[in-house]
Each structure stands twice: as C-alpha cells, then as structure tokens.
Amino acid sequence: MTPSTLPTPLPARSPQPFRLSPELRTAALLTTLTLLGLLLGLVGEHLLRLPTLMWAGYGLAYLAGGIPSGREALRSLVRERKLDVDLLMVLAALGAASIGQMADGAILLFLFSLSNTLQDWAMGRTKNAIQALMDLNPEGATVRRDGTERWCELGEIRVGDLLVVRPGERVAADARVVRGQTSVDESPVTGESVPVDKEPGAELASGTVNLNGSVEAEVIRPAGESTLARLVGLMEEAQTQKSRTETLTERWESPYATAVLLGVPLVFALLYYGFGLPTDDAWYRAMTFMVVASPCAVVISTPAVMLSAMAAAARAGVLFKSSAALDALAGVQTVAFDKTGTLTQARMTLTHVHAPDERSALALAAGLEAHSEHPIARAVVMAAEERGVSPLALTDAQAVPGHGITARTPEGEVAWAGNLRLAGRQGADLSDAQRATLDELAAAGRSVVIVGTGDRALGLLGVADALRPGIRGALEQLSASGVPHRVMLTGDREEVARTVAREVGLSEYRAELLPEDKLRIIGELPGPVAMVGDGVNDAPALARADLGVAVASGTDVAIESADVVLMQNDLGRLAGAVRLAREARRTVRLNLAFAFGVILIVAPLAVAGQVPLPLGVIAHEGGTVFVVFMGLRLLRRRV
C-alpha cells in the first residue's frame, strides 16, 4: 500500500457498535429453535391433537435446548470433575419428560437457553471494551525512513521511525512530536473529553486522533509495547481475574449442585414414603425442587456486576486489572499518595520573583539560565517566555558546580545566578529584606535562585515542583466519596512536604522517607490501604498496599506493580472510581440476597406442591435475568 492509496482516516469519535460473536449467534439460533419446537409441541398437543407434530416439536425443543447444556455439563464432569447448573437443568427437563410433562420440560429448556443467551449478550456488552480498544489501532501509518515516505503496516513500524500524522488519522504508535503543532483527541485512550494541544517535545499515545494539524513524530516504543497495547493487555488480564466473591461462588457451585442432586431423591422419598403422595406427584415436586434450587442466579450475580463496572471505569480512563481490585477499592479506608509525579507534575515551575524590578531580574536570570540544562534553569527560562520577557544577551557563560552559573553582560560586568554560596563568592551581601524573603521561601520548601551582577544581589526567584491542576479539588472529592484517611508519603524534605500538604489540603504527611520506610508505614496505616504512585521507588509500596494505584505517566515498573491505572493522570477520577466500586459491591450484595431469597422461599413451596414446575422455571430463570440486568445498569455510570 502506498501513500497515494492510504485508507480513509477514521473519524475522531466513532461509536463502536456491538458485534455478535459467532458463539452468541449460535446460542441465539438454538434458543429460537427451542422456542419454535415448544410452540409446535403445544399446538400439536392441545390444538390440533396430532401426536406426530407434538413429538416432533418437543423433540426439537429438547435437542436444541438440551444438547448445548448437556455438552457443557459433560465437559465439566469429565475434564474438571465437577457438577454444575447445566447438569441440573438437563436432568430436571428429562425428569419432567419421564412423568409425561413434556411441555414443562420444554419450557424449562427454552427459558434456560434464553437466560444463557442473555447472559452471553450481557457479558459481551462489557467484554466489547477490549475489541473497541483494538479497533483504535489503524492498519498502519505513513513513515518517513531514510528521507523517503512510505506506508508501513503496524508490525513494520520501528523505534526511531518518523510518523507523518495528518488531520483525522489515528496515531499508530507511541511517539514524540518533533515537527508541527496540532490538537489531539485523547478520549479513546484516557477519557479526556477536551482536545489536548501538542507541540514539539510532546508525546502522542497510540490510538489517539490527530484533529487539525499535520505533525511528524518519532516512534519511541514498538507497537507491541505501546500505550494501546498495554491497555488491551490490562483489560484482558482484568477480565480473567476474579474478586473474592466470584472465587467463593465458583468454589461452592459444584458442592452445591451435588447437594441439590442428592437432595432430589431425598425429597422424593420424603414425599412418597413420609407423606404418601403418588409416585408421579412426588417425582414432579422433586423435579420442581431441582429447578428452583439451582444456583444459576447466584453464580452469575457477581461477574455480571463486576464486568459492567470495570467496563464503565475503563471508558473513563480508569483501568482495573481485576475484579478483585474493584472489590478492594470499595473497602478502602486510607489512601496514601506519593508526592512527586503524583500530587505534583514532576516539573519545576517559577513561583516567586522578589526584586525591585521583577522583569529586569527575570530577564537577567533567563539570560544566565539559558546556558544550563538544569531543571530549575529550564523553569526560569520557560517562565520568562510565558511572561513575554526577553532573556538578556550574555557571553562567556560558565557553570560553577554546586553553586550556579556566571556570565558577562554586554557592558563587561559579571552576572551570576545561583545559591547563597555563589552570592557570597561574588561578594554580595543580602539586605535584611532579602534575607527575610530567602528564609520565607526556604521555609515554604522553595528552591531559591539569587540573581545579581558584580557584588549586588538584584533579586530572588522561588522555584518549586508544580502541583497537578485541580489536585486539591480531587482530594476533597475523594474525602466526600467516603475515604476518611488521606496521607502523603514523600522522600522530600520536611519543609517541602509541609508546604505541599498544606496547598493540596492534606492534614497528614510523612517526609524524608526511603522506599523501605514507605513499606513500613503502609503496614501501619488504618486499612484497607490504597497507595497512589508513579515512580520506580513507589513500586514496593504499590505492591505492599491492599490496592496499588498508578498514574499512566509513571514508570513501567509502577504500572506493572499497581492494581489500578489512571490513564488520564487525573486523580479526580479516583473518587468516581471509589463511588462506582462501592455501588458495585452494594449491587452484588443485593443480587446475592435476591438469588438466595428466591431459592429459600420458592424451594420449600415447590416441595409443598404450591409452585408448579412452569412457575418454578419462571422464578428461577427470571431471577437470573434480573441479576444480569442489575449488573448492566452500571454500564451507564459515570466515573
């Protein structure tokens, strides 16, 4: 494929339709055939009085509705050596047929088949998130390699290639912009609804959409390790790991099914020998008991809720690696935050300029720091650009290790910028007001740059790691969502930690911590504890906590160690995720209470002969459908 035959660019926000899988289409077809056979059997038995039509219709219903369940039951019995609800349903239908109630057995198989099809459809709705993520990858991209543009398939793109991304195209691999400016729709990956401006140096995530300008970007990760590939991997992993409730339910499914099967002959014996019921009546009630006592609704209660909640969270850029993580978040009482890169942006920013002529002092400082690559120097230069201050042209710039930098002004005078030691080395005495400002900035945790010429200190600049936008509001939302304890853990100095904690609204913090100190403190905090971090040094604490939460801008080690990933780097999403997790837990409890309630109420009534088999089937399968749709409600929740 050549650039002249490029595929039509995908629209920025195309809805992903739900596609029926071949398995789901087959299940729907068999359910339809079961219904058709049931209707033919009823017509042949009650309307036309044609035994041939009756037997043909009921035979079709039993085959179409019973063979799939029988196959699943046999597979579980032979391969896993366990009994399950499929076996109970098939035996109940055969039991109904054995006492001449062919119609009741056909109704049971139809409703059970319909219930399974609806479950598959519901699970497909949530699992469709993976396919939607995979569809975000284009077939390939235009690549400039060795000075030549050509179309490359996705697997052919290499690290170091230059992607040429035109308006309307999706980014094929994680890359860094080297030429051009544009706005990018990151909503498919991070959930961010507002387009993000990109300029040289900014990173592009695979699967995002270029909106208006053409850019060239250097590939920084192969396609298999891209942001999108990691998202798909996380989603696939999330849907295979189970919560404690799911694990417990599955563990007891087989023993419970065994108990029900053993209970059927006991119920029959009690009714036949104890109460003197005729054989047909006793067996009929035993079969009804088998149906209503089957744990279908119990088994599906938890996964229907968990997968729906995880899909809703993923749509907002909060990825749970398992439903166990979702369940853990619902019970969290303490959230511990790393500071740098989590509460802050890990980017130094100029916060204060104290000088009689602030613009002149900033121009001089920017002229000096333009010759340095230090993060503080970059913060000063960037602040000058943002404020429209032109750096002063200086010559003979020299770094003074551990002190700062010096240069010469156009008039030949020595200009300097650095710490208090450099000011003393230049023979500059700070005034009382300047010393008071220095102490004030140092107490607030600011890094201080003193700028001057000759033996005169012209001004003081305060630089600090910038807070994440809206971080204070995000932490307040977390408190409002029901998390009572929030604490900051950092390796920074006491004064820095105190200032940041005050600015973000945290009353508790621990400073000057080594990674092993964070581990110890995580174990001492009132639990369950969630740890939020981004760096390599946070990985042990993320793994040690009851729940690890990583921001996507963090290191690969942190993301691998965490149980939850905030793809948008927005801690405000964490409060919404807590609310969603707690609603999911409440829904699971409601579903389980409802499912067990149906069994506890209807099963004794079935034994007493107050519930006929068709009504028992409706109660059983209706309960299963109810708990599935209770779970699907969470798909509409906003995080």
Q: Mind telling me the catalytic residues?
A: 338
d(CA 591, CA 593): 5
CB atoms within 10 A of CB 173: 31
β-pairing verdict for 209-210 and 334-338: unpaired
Structure tokens given for 485? 């304890």
User: 53, exposed or middle or buried, with CB in 10 Å at 0-12, 13-18, 19+?
Assistant: middle
Q: Give the DSSP H/E element, type plus range, for residue 574.
A: helix 572-607
Closest CA to 553 of 574, 571, 534, 579: 534
d(CA 349, CA 375): 9
CB atoms within 10 A of CB 354: 18
- Inter-CA distances, 128 with 132, 133, 219, 490, Å: 6, 9, 29, 40
CB atoms within 10 A of CB 469: 11
DSSP tally for the chain: helices H, then strands E: 21, 22
> Which residue do the tokens 């450099």 mark?
422
CB 95 within 8 A of CB 286: yes
User: 566, exposed or middle or buried, with CB in 10 Å at 0-12, 13-18, 19+?
Assistant: buried
E strand spans, 508-562: 509-510, 529-533, 547-551
Assign 3-class secondary structure to 181-200: CEEEECHHHHCCCCCEEECC
CB 518 within 8 A of CB 489: yes
- Inter-CA distances, 638 with 122, 174, 222, 312, 329, Å: 19, 28, 33, 7, 16
Closest CA to 461 of 402, 418, 414, 397: 418
Residue type, 632: L
Instruction: Spell 20-41 as b/e; 16+ CB within 10 A means b.
Output: eeeebeebbebbebbbebbebb
> Which residue do the tokens 């009823």 mark?
42
